[in-house]
């Protein structure tokens, strides 16, 4: 199955990053969102990120222009039905994702491959709500998409080999590396990463260390490029909590119980960088720990 046209649902941080790398790799991209403002912001962000690559001699000015010319936008979900590959990159809530796929399915070409950029939700369950579970896969990019080299490929129980091989070839064309994961809660990266972040929040919650000492300990003591609380703010505390809940519910093991302090921050609307406050306060010139 040849893929040339790609539909992307969601123009947020992940969606615009995915659009960026596909357009740069020569694919024709149609990006959808429910908000015209979100689409305009996404195009502006993509151009800004491409300019950064030009300034660092990663790409040429001509490659930047060609990539931008390949990206089109639409507010109409059904317009994506004629693409070869659809990547859903909406919010990490299963009900939202299911509703999107149910609305889109009647408009799809027979051979269109459906994928979700979900970081934790069951691919088999999402696929079962469509008319093509054999052509459905998890296609999980890492954030920020233009920089991170890994893409997790997750087969549902019904995914056929041709779909897997097609997406593996797409990842290679993007210049990234594919890691194959089985369809169990949170797959590989977040199955390992999120409990570490959750444990860092417990360490803060129990008073073992403050925000600064926890992050510095992991950066200087384990050579992590970012501390776990700083990373949680970058990912979004609501996303971290959602993934921990998926792990806790899906595996029924108390070791995945979300820290009450993480829940409290989300309840307060302190979701990290995107809201200006999380484990750090980002409203000044430099981030300041909130605990």
Catalytic residue list: 119, 140, 152, 190
212 is in an annotated binding site: no
Strands (E) located in 18-149: 28-32, 71-74, 85-88, 113-116, 136-141
Q: Is 64 annotated as a binding residue?
A: no
Half-sphere exposure for 212 (CA within 13 Å, toward CB)? 6
Give the three-state DSSP class for 122. coil
In 3D space, the residue among 102, 96, 166 whose CA is nearest the CA of residue 128 turns out to be 102
> Do the annotations mark residue 11 as ligand-binding?
yes
- Is 15 annotated as ligand-binding? yes
Residue 135: count other Cβ atoms within 10 Å of its Cβ.
23
The H-or-E segment that residue 179 falls in is strand 177-181
What is the rounded CA–CA span in Å between residue 116 and residue 167? 12
Residues 155, 137: contact at Cβ < 8 Å? Answer: yes
Judge whether 97 is annotated as a binding position: yes
Annotated ligand binding at 178? The verdict is no
Tell me whether residue 92 is annotated as binding. Answer: yes
13 among the known binding-site residues? yes
Query: Is 236 annotated among the ligand-binding residues?
Result: no
Q: Say whether 15 sits in a helix, a strand or coil.
A: helix
Q: What does the chain come to in residues? A: 291
274 is in an annotated binding site: yes
DSSP classification of residue 144: S
Q: Report the C-alpha gap between 19 and 13 in whole angstroms.
A: 10
Binding residues for NAD(+): 10-15, 33, 92, 97, 119, 143, 274
Binding residues: 10-15, 33, 92, 97, 119, 143, 274
């Amino acid at each position: 199955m040849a893929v040339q046209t790609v539909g992307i649902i969601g123009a947020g941080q992940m969606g615009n990053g995915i659009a960026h790398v596909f357009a740069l790799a020569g694919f024709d991209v149609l990006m959808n969102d429910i908000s015209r403002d979100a689409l305009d912001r996404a195009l502006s962000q993509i151009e800004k990120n491409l300019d950064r690559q030009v300034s660092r001699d990663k790409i040429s000015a001509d490659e930047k222009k060609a990539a931008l010319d390949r990206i089109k936008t639409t507010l109409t979900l059904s317009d994506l039905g004629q693409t070869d590959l659809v990547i859903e990159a909406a919010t990490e809530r299963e009900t939202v994702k299911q509703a999107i796929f149910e609305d889109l399915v009647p408009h799809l070409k027979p051979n269109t491959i459906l994928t979700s950029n979900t970081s934790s939700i069951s691919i088999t369950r999402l696929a079962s709500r469509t008319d093509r579970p054999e052509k459905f896969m998890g296609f999980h990019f890492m954030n920020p998409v233009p920089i991170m080299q890994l893409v997790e490929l997750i087969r549902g129980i019904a995914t056929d080999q041709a779909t897997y091989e097609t997406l593996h070839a797409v990842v290679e064309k993007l210049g990234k590396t594919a890691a194959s994961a089985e369809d169990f809660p949170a797959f590989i990266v977040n199955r390992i990463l999120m409990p570490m972040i959750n444990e860092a929040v417990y360490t803060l919650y129990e008073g073992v260390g403050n925000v600064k000492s926890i992050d510095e300990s992991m950066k200087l003591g384990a050579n992590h490029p970012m501390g776990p609380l700083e990373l949680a703010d970058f990912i979004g505390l609501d996303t971290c909590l959602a993934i921990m809940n998926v792990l806790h519910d899906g595996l029924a093991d108390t070791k995945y119980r979300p820290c009450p302090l993480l829940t409290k921050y989300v309840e307060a609307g302190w979701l990290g960088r995107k809201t200006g406050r999380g484990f750090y306060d980002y409203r000044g010139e430099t981030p300041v720990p909130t605990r």
